[in-house]
């Protein structure tokens, strides 16, 4: 069991390498072990490409040669952080491949809740008399794919709230204007996060006041979709959000106009269940995760609706005499780490 956990942790280390590229697929890692040695490993390719199990098999064949690899598979164990798929999507079923190569054992971190898998991959392996073990580091494997699981089970993206506040809990100055709270290291980290998630959202006031581009300028990676709540379409066309660097989706009450990089989506009864309606529309667009980077009003909108999963809050050493209070989560942080002079706290809604 100790060895099982060590190899599964390696699967998780591999899986995270797919962050920001595999969505709406899950992040998965796979490790092939024969006679106590790793002979192949892989993780899920960017969306549409081979899954982790296929890449691990190919890696073994590259390292050993195809004939030698095929012989070893028959006495090897393959560890995979998520149940092998059982259906034809953009790629063939991984469970069928494992059966075809006659693996001796398959160790699975957690089952896949997707309706076309959900135990069917495991069943294919068992029907082929392959030894199986399920639930190794299950909590960690489920946490790795919390975005995927949320999309599948709740029909909405995984929602991450992000903001910075002063040491005395203030979010912004009383008078409109920009005032940086977090340090440069924290800003770089936010750009890394943007590259890992599918979308980032702000409200009208933030778009007008800060004129953010919401791109990944300080990190290598792809820009997320930009989501704007602009009820009356008052954000001007020359705003940075419309610079063409990434797709921008605008939820409003006036107009629907679907273009390549600028998509206006009019919502009926605009204020009614606004966060829920926005998230459902994004779900239909295959957005699996989103960072809410708006002002207090926008953040509190999602908090009050109960449709948030994770919050990442930077607390600086600065203290202001007056300002606008930060959003209220009414819970203690799950963990905290230092980011330079800032403290970054993580909160979870469940």
175 as an active site residue: the answer is: no
| Strands, sheet with 77-82, edge to edge from the N-terminal-most edge strand | 37-43, 29-34, 77-82, 105-110, 131-134
Q: Are 164 and 314 in contact (CB under 8 A)?
A: yes
CB 131 within 8 A of CB 120: no
Query: 81: which residues sit within 8 A by CB, 6+ positions away?
Result: 8, 11, 12, 15, 28, 29, 30, 52, 108, 109, 110, 137, 141, 144, 145
Residue with tokens 């995270």: 16
Burial 327-336 (b: 16+ CB within 10 A, else e): bebeeebeee
Bond prior to 220 in cis (omega within 30° of 0)? no
Non-local (6+) Cβ contacts of 285 within 8 A are 249
* Alpha carbon of residue 336 to chain centroid: 20
Q: What is the DSSP letter of 60?
A: H
Q: Could you tell me which of 286, 347, 277, 263 has the C-alpha nearest to residue 312? A: 347
The answer to whether the Cα torsion of 131, 136, 142, 143 is positive or negative is negative
Active-site position among 41, 53, 293, 310? 53
Closest CA to 312 of 229, 202, 225, 189: 189
Helix (H) or strand (E) holding 312: strand 310-315
Q: Which residues are catalytic?
A: 53
């Amino acid at each position: 069991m100790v060895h099982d956990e060590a190899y599964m942790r390696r699967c998780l280390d591999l899986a995270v390498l797919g962050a920001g590229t595999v969505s709406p697929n899950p992040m998965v890692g796979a490790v092939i072990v024969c006679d106590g040695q790793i002979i192949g490993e892989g993780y899920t390719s960017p969306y549409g490409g081979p899954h982790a199990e296929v890449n691990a098999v190919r890696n073994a064949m590259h390292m050993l040669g195809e004939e030698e690899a095929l012989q070893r598979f028959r006495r090897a164990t393959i560890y995979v952080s998520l149940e092998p798929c059982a259906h034809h999507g953009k790629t063939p079923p991984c469970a069928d491949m494992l059966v075809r190569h006659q693996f001796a054992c398959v160790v699975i971190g957690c089952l896949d809740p997707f309706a076309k898998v959900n135990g069917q991959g495991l069943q294919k392996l068992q029907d082929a008399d392959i030894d199986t073990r399920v639930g190794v580091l299950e909590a960690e494997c489920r946490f790795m794919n919390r975005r995927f699981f949320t999309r599948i089970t709740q029909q909405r993206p995984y929602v991450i709230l992000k903001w910075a506040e002063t040491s005395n809990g203030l979010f912004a100055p009383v008078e409109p204007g920009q005032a940086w709270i977090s340090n440069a290291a924290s800003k770089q980290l936010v750009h890394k996060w943007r590259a890992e998630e599918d979308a980032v959202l702000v409200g009208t006031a933030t778009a007008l006041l800060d004129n953010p581009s919401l791109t990944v300028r300080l990190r290598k990676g792809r820009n997320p979709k930009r989501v704007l709540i602009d009820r009356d379409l008052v954000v001007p066309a020359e705003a940075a959000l419309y610079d063409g660097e990434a797709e921008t989706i605008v939820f409003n009450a006036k107009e629907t106009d679907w273009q390549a990089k600028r998509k206006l989506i009019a919502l009926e009864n605009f204020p009614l269940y606004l966060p829920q309606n926005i998230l459902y529309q994004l779900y239909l667009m295959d957005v699996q995760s989103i960072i809410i980077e708006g002002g207090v009003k926008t953040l509190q909108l999602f908090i009050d609706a109960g449709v948030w999963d994770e919050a990442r809050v930077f607390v600086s050493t600065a203290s202001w005499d007056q300002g606008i209070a930060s959003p209220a989560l009414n819970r203690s942080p799950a963990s905290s780490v230092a980011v330079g002079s800032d403290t970054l706290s993580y909160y979870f809604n469940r």
